[in-house]
Structure 1
Amino acid sequence: MATRVKRRRVAGPEGCGHGLDRDPDPVAGFLRWCGRVGLELSPKVAVSRQGTVAGYGMVARESVQAGELLFAVPRAALLSQHTCSIGGLLERERGALQSQSGWVPLLLALLHELQAPASPWSPYFALWPELGRLEHPMFWPEGERRRLLQGTGVPEAVEKDLANIRSEYHSVVLPFMEAHPDLFSPRVRSLELYQQLVALVMAYSFQEPLEEEDDEKEPNPPLMVPAADILNHVADHNANLEYSPNCLRMVATQPIPKGHEIFNTYGQMANWQLIHMYGFAEPYPDNTDDTADIQMVTVREAALQGAKDEAERLQLCERWDYLCKLEMVGEEGAFVIGREEVLTEEELTTTLKVLCMSAEEFRELKEQDGWGDKREEDSLTITNIPRLKESWRQLLRNSVLLTLQAYATDLKAEQDLLGNKDIYSKLSWREQQALQVRYGQKMILHQLLELTG
């Protein structure tokens, strides 16, 4: 992962001895550090502010061919709970550092290294963004977050994050730091700083994928990968990180012309996920991975609104309970719609089928306790939606209409803003990013309205 947040020199907790201010050129200091730790950058690439979408990025000095190595990071240069100077203690105390996120050991490693006068990673920290100026929505005033992102799912995700961060800090992190006052100065015992570092790990860290045979295991803990986190993200990326036993390698996935920026991918991320985790969105229509959510309970509400009488409402509630037992729906789940496919096709197909079937069909379904073969005409590919049964289309349409009501503005208002360059340019950064998130979602939902009409 990495971020497009404007990158400035890090301003850590006041008085912490990073030694960062001694280097007037953080890029030169970082490159010298790369030489010392064996981090090999190809002579064809440069770390730069020029020619990048935001802050620091990596640019091709010469044309690069697909498959060429851009840089290699030795595992010893990674910053993780194992490589930091308190790695042994973190390992011994592992049981006491368990948390819902699984990030506590890395966050404690960062808290320690940031205040260490001679941390080996100080030149790397110099390229971090200023912690107090991160643009994640968790740092926006609550009123602004709700006003700009209402209906997108982001405010609800942020509220969960903030509650979890507070709980984790007070129950796990602060007691650990207080138990080791020689390792953590009072200056880093701060919920505000902890929240900033959570956002930084959210935006900058990487998680090594599990081997296929290890799919049942817990995911690998996050780690910081110098150089790799300098790369910005686009859906149409031209580089990819590869993991090997001795090092991590960034490799070009397509030809990159001289002067062009090198982009990694953070995964198939919708714009709401990008703004939530990284503080930016891709402008429409660049994000081919964008999605819109229809809350599962919204489909239930649409079905209940269409019920003719109380008996029909009770039948729908019974069917919903049946779908819950099948684990097709839940109170907090969502059906995820992409531009060209329904990503939760099985769940949405099953839900439409069960909620729209006759009483006789539902009785038979329960008696046979299972499904026959899926019929091709029930496929929820975007192109097939107009051919669905009328009752399915109507329920889907009503669910989309209810979903659109959750937004504070309509599609026409967004189109007017995006279509007027003068007005758009006067919007704040947050207003522009939130507009891209809302507009992308509404375009997908309006496409569904056309298909179900």
Structure 2
Amino acid sequence: MATAAKRPRAEGTSGGGDKPLLAFLNWCREVGLELSPKVSVSREGTVSGYGMVALEDVQRGELLFVVPRAVLLSQKTTSIRGLLEKEHGALQSQSGWVPLLLALLYEYLAEDSPWKGYFSLWPELGSLRHPMFWSEEERKQLLQGTGVPEAVERDLASISYEYGTIVLPFLEAHPDVFPLQAQSLELYRQLVAMVMAYSFQEPLEEEEEEEEEPNPPMMVPAADILNHVANHNANLEYSPECLKMVATQPIPKGQEIFNTYGQMANWQLIHMYGFAEPYPGNTNDSADIQMATVRAAALQGATTEAETRLLGERWDFLCQLEMVGEEGAFVIGREEVITEEELSATLKVLCMPAKEFRQLKKRDSWEEDGENSLILTNKTIPKLKASWKVLLRNSTLLTLQAYATDLKSDQELLHNKEARAKLSWKEEQALQVRYGQKRILHQLLELTSS
């Protein structure tokens, strides 16, 4: 994905021949969704599909567009909100997305939906690029070791279960509301991908954060047009009457306006949104070392049955402290360990002398000391105890073994223009995900070698 855009055509109507865009812009005027005259919605000058481009210089703090709350599409604004409220108890799920998905299903299929103009700019549902729509073989071949295939398998299982146990019975119970074509697992899966890629969740107020469940997702027309880069130049602000997209830095004429989807690693971007940022653009990229992999690396150093048994005790102790879990991962960023508290505690407990561990187990609480609170960065990791570095290095080596390719082959492919030009879109995106992770892991190898 590029970081700058080409100059768009005037007025943002792609020469007047883009009927979906014209329908969307007309709909915006009808519902009071106000676009600044300084911005244009267009395919030209954007990195992917439709996007928003500056027609004039935009200053930091300037308003780019305003979305009235009545225009938002959610379980509270849909035409079937009364039915969803009535059946609220039956629509509870682990994801919390079912009410919105049913609202989308109804409005998307309804000929007279108030959001018909909004849907005109949606991508074709059959052309979505999330890995959940790749073949299992493609995911395994291209994304092995990245964590994406496992995340997709969990998603597909969850979607199928949610559809079969909650959604389909609801659709069958209301044939007067939903047409027969709504009873489609594939359509439901496509709408899940749309919610993953295009929905927004309004943040809770600070005083609500500990007590309340997260706000349910909602669709925000116009805001979901903006593409993402880590170094974004716009941000969505929430107020009681409306949502506002505001410039967070000056945007020169002709440049694309980017929102942020959050601090997302490339594997999260490809998984949830269907794209990755080319190296080295994603400053939020990270690599995971599975917690179970660290345990496996520690087991490699156990030479007797007693040492193996003691390692099991250490691991159980860390589980009790909620520092590790069977499916958890330590997250390694480009400059620092993001899960530094969990990783430093794990290294400490797994590497401390047996006598010291016995004493630790007898304490009533986990007492912080200088080592536990150590911030793990590229500057501090080389200064760790030798035993910590050995365990971290061995864990990294085991992690790298999970990939189908090595760093050198990916690097050669990345810099070979002729070979890279022959890559399919999926192969290119997967290459970016793998390469970014391996660069971080190899950097960790260097930091733990001194």
Out of 105, 109, 126, the position equivalent to 2:103 is: 109
Counterpart of 1:38, as a letter, is G
Correspondence 1:266 to 2:238: no
Q: Paired residue for 1:303?
A: 298
Q: Paired residue for 2:36?
A: 42
Correspondence 1:249 to 2:249: no
**Per-residue deviation at 1:330?**
0.6
In the aligned structure 2, how far is the partner of 1:87 from the partner of 1:302?
53
SS of residue paired to 2:220: coil
Out of 262, 286, 289, the position equivalent to 2:284 is: 289
Q: Paired residue for 1:199?
A: 193
Correspondence 1:75 to 2:69: yes
Q: Paired residue for 2:328?
A: 333
Matches within 5 A, 1:119-138: 119-138=113-132
In the aligned structure 2, how far is the partner of 1:379 from the partner of 1:121?
49
Q: Paired residue for 1:396?
A: 392
Matches within 5 A, 1:87-106: 87-106=81-100
Q: Paired residue for 1:218?
A: 213
Q: Paired residue for 2:167?
A: 173
Counterpart of 1:440, as a letter, is G
- CA-to-partner distance for each residue in 1:318-338, whole Å, 9 max, x for gaps? 100100011100100000000
Q: Paired residue for 1:30?
A: 24
In the aligned structure 2, how far is the partner of 1:164 from the partner of 1:373?
39
Q: Paired residue for 1:8?
A: none
- CA-to-partner distance for each residue in 1:8-30, whole Å, 9 max, x for gaps? xxxxxxxxxxxxxxx96111111
In the aligned structure 1, how far is the partner of 2:164 from the partner of 2:358?
51
In the aligned structure 2, how far is the partner of 1:306 from the partner of 1:431?
38
Q: Verify the 8 A CA contact 1:345 1:380 in the aligned structure 2.
A: yes
Out of 440, 443, 447, the position equivalent to 2:443 is: 447
**Per-residue deviation at 1:291?**
0.5
Counterpart of 2:197, as a letter, is A
Correspondence 1:323 to 2:318: yes
Counterpart of 2:171, as a letter, is M
Identity %: 75
SS of residue paired to 1:199: helix
**Per-residue deviation at 1:295?**
0.3
**Per-residue deviation at 1:372?**
4.1
Out of 392, 407, 413, the position equivalent to 2:409 is: 413
**Per-residue deviation at 1:66?**
0.3
Correspondence 1:147 to 2:141: yes
**Per-residue deviation at 1:169?**
0.5
In the aligned structure 1, how far is the partner of 2:394 from the partner of 2:423?
33
What is the TM-score of this pair, normalised by structure 1?
A: 0.94
In the aligned structure 2, how far is the partner of 1:26 from the partner of 1:140?
27
SS of residue paired to 1:382: coil
Q: Paired residue for 1:352?
A: 347
Query: Judging changes above 3 Å, is the alpha-carbon distance between structure 1 residues 379 and 106 closer, same or farther for their aligned structure 2 residues?
Result: closer
In the aligned structure 2, how far is the partner of 1:296 from the partner of 1:279?
27
What is the TM-score of this pair, normalised by structure 2?
A: 0.94
Counterpart of 1:30, as a letter, is F
Counterpart of 1:253, as a letter, is T
**Per-residue deviation at 1:375?**
1.3
Segments of structure 1 that go 5 or more residues without pairing to the other structure are: 1-22
Correspondence 1:381 to 2:377: yes
- CA-to-partner distance for each residue in 1:61-119, whole Å, 9 max, x for gaps? 00000000000000000011111110111011100100011111111111111111111
SS of residue paired to 1:293: strand
In the aligned structure 1, how far is the partner of 2:151 from the partner of 2:18?
39
Q: Verify the 8 A CA contact 1:256 1:262 in the aligned structure 2.
A: yes
Segments of structure 2 that go 5 or more residues without pairing to the other structure are: 1-16
**Per-residue deviation at 1:379?**
3.4
Counterpart of 2:329, as a letter, is A
Q: Paired residue for 1:4?
A: none
Q: Verify the 8 A CA contact 1:378 1:388 in the aligned structure 2.
A: no
In the aligned structure 1, how far is the partner of 2:383 from the partner of 2:391?
14
Query: Judging changes above 3 Å, is the alpha-carbon distance between structure 1 residues 435 and 24 closer, same or farther for their aligned structure 2 residues?
Result: closer
**Per-residue deviation at 1:367?**
2.0
SS of residue paired to 2:428: helix
In the aligned structure 1, how far is the partner of 2:426 from the partner of 2:83?
41
**Per-residue deviation at 1:244?**
0.2
Which is worse superposed, 212-221 or 376-385? 376-385
Correspondence 1:237 to 2:232: yes
Higher-RCO chain (CA-CA 8 Å, sequence separation at least 6)? 1
Q: Paired residue for 1:12?
A: none
- CA-to-partner distance for each residue in 1:108-163, whole Å, 9 max, x for gaps? 11111111111111111010000001000000000111110000000000000000
Q: Paired residue for 2:8?
A: none
Out of 175, 178, 183, the position equivalent to 1:184 is: 178
In the aligned structure 1, how far is the partner of 2:18 from the partner of 2:443?
52
SS of residue paired to 2:380: helix
Out of 254, 274, 278, the position equivalent to 2:273 is: 278
Q: Output the aligned Cα RMSD.
A: 1.1
- CA-to-partner distance for each residue in 1:34-68, whole Å, 9 max, x for gaps? 11111010000000000000110000000000000
SS of residue paired to 2:244: strand
Q: Paired residue for 1:427?
A: 423
**Per-residue deviation at 1:371?**
4.1
Counterpart of 1:166, as a letter, is S
Counterpart of 2:58, as a letter, is V
**Per-residue deviation at 1:31?**
1.1
Q: Paired residue for 2:51?
A: 57
In the aligned structure 2, how far is the partner of 1:443 from the partner of 1:272?
14
**Per-residue deviation at 1:249?**
0.1
In the aligned structure 1, how far is the partner of 2:40 from the partner of 2:329?
42
Q: Paired residue for 1:17?
A: none
In the aligned structure 2, how far is the partner of 1:419 from the partner of 1:178?
54
SS of residue paired to 1:337: strand
